[in-house]
Structure 1
Amino acid sequence: MWESNGPAVTALGASPALAAAGTLAWAVARPRAGLRQRLGRLARPVTACAALSLTTGFALPTAGPGAHWKLAGAAVLLLLLAVVTRWSPPRELICTLPPTALAVALWPLPLVTGETFLEAIGIATFWLLPVVGAVAAGAYPRRQELRRRRAVAEARSAQRLHLSRDLHDFVAHDVSGIVVQAQAARFVAATDPSHAVLALERIEKAGLRALASMDRAVEMLHGPEAPAVDPLPDVSRLPSLIRNFNAAGATEAELVMAPQVADALSREVGAAAYRVVVEALTNVRRHAPGAHHATVVLTRTATTVEIRVTNDCGAGSAPSHHRASPGGLGLPALTEQARTLGGTLSAGPIGGGGWQLTVALPTSLPKRTS
């Protein structure tokens, strides 16, 4: 039989508490470099401490100073359980939680004599409450960090999508103009060098615009500390866009827009409207190269602005069929953006073999409520 007050009993009774305290001290009483990794590796040592507590709790006498050590061991196990819940991988946490919960819930049972089964269940249930509290204390910051990481990942994904749309809508438009001008210069270089020189000048301007668009995208990647960059163009830049389009190819584009339309649109809607026109004209150049005429019409009502871009088929040409670009952008991306802004987009063939794109956007975005 064990002697209730012997040094061996005291040492064995104190061993779970000392082991748990030593485990915690090993994790935190070292340089902070690698602290998170050490805390994430505590699951197995905590499981061993819980098993030792269960073994000694029912093997040793109930009287004597061992009771105080058991209480101290349960308290340290609760602290370790919170740390494991916060930092350990889910698979290891699942293995550590049951024995640790049992060790904390059952530690007072050997100290109580004459209790009924229901009383023992009540005592164990009561001591499960601190276990729940420890798990909640570790799970809450873990959940918050997970939500933060997801928010950061979603923000990065949205930024990448935004940048890809910018590169597609603006750079692809200028590159398409460069291709058209280069093709024209190749045919007239031998017979009319002066026209070839004009085409090269237009190629240079289109290339500079494409570089400016890429510079703007790169500056956005540098975050809020980056130098200020020019804002995205809005409908006030449409006249120059139409001039550049007419100079770069055989299709003649015409803009019909009342002067007050630009002043009536918010910055976001104005940039979206400009993006719509850029994408529509780029599609005309790609998918209807034989078109003779394109019309861009912006009309405004009390609450919306309608952008309608129409092109003909061209004499002797097959009916035009505008498509999404190979990268999955183009019209699908514009449709999603229009829906995000509270608008609508429709596109399809019209009589005579032409094509029409119609987008309706609210003149201003509703204010967000916090």
Structure 2
Amino acid sequence: MDEDGFPALSPRGRRTLAALITAWLLLMGLADIWSRMPLEYMRTLPAGAWLPVLSGVAMAVVVFAPVRVRIEGRAAVAAVLSLTVTGWLAWAPEDGPGSGTLESAVLLVLLARTARTARPWAALGLCLLLGATIVAGPARSGLRYVAHWSGFSSLLLLAAVAAAGFGCHLRMLDDRRARAIIAVREGERLQLAHDLHDFVAHHVTGMVVQAQAALAIREHAPEQVEPLLRGIEKAGNETLDSMHRLVRVLREQDRGTVRPDDLLAELALLISRFGQAGHPTVRLDVSAEARAAELDPEVETTVHRLVQEALTNITRHAPGARDARVGLTASPGTLTAEVVNGPPSQGAMPPGGRSGGFGLIGLRERIEVVGGTLTTGPTPDGGWQVTGTFPVRPQRPVTAAPGLGGSPA
């Protein structure tokens, strides 16, 4: 479990867990086969001795087959199949073979999965059905031997209750994680809305000042009125664009981020502080096209946030990484921000390998709201890469471009 209380398994950990479950089920299947191998010459097996083995294999296929079937359908088919075999063997005139070990193990795994992932209206009924199916398994020895297999049924009942309880516990953690993700996304939207509000207020104030100046000079300097009006037009267009984004953010519905006055200067300061704290040296590479790009203020803030979050993840999940790089490049209409770090010295878990962290979830939400994309993943040398693409503001002919990180007046 991580610090948030959620299961924290890396992809390698998930593969290991799946391999352990597979090995356990294979052992159960081998135990079924071994218990039915004649130990003495001419020994006869009970009628249908191999039927539980075959039904166990069939149910393993039903439960784990990589097909798009909901868990409710898998649970219903497995329960009906198992109860059919149980009923046929329990009422058979000959002695039955008893329950199958593989079949019981598969049903317990299915019970836990059903309790965790089935829709609420179906989970209770299916869990009761699967529990009854598991408990009824020993009746395959024959109803007349109820005194012999009732104790084993009691043990299976305890195992079924434990499996259902484990599934319910995982379901609770899943619900808690889902609520936390929603809260993170709402927080990012509200924070971005606050940033946009500040930007709109700044522009409206500038428009009022320019309008007052135009009124003051229209009599004695009319030639200076037109540039002021063009400035008001530009500020108005940018304000409308930001208002449209603000409405979209609020419809979709504290860390206190602020817009960097100069993005490149803020990034340099952020990287400098990161290095002074004893972390790996970070190189900042900015292309000439990126320096000339114009960004909306909320995009500037989000670029800064991406670099900040990526550097924080290096501290948390890549201790001992020897180097890192922050790069800004631009192509027509797009700015790309990339943070790459080398492999950790102690095999620590990469940021995307954890299931409990919400920093990248909130960052992805914020980037998508401003019209960008976020990709993360390992590098060939074992490091980690975080890349965000952002829209670049189109050039307007009314004034010269202030450049990356410049604040419009």
Shorter-chain TM-score range: 0.3 to 0.5
Report the TM-score when normalising by structure 1. 0.45
Report which structure shows greater RCO (CA 8 Å, sep ≥6). 2
Report the TM-score when normalising by structure 2. 0.41
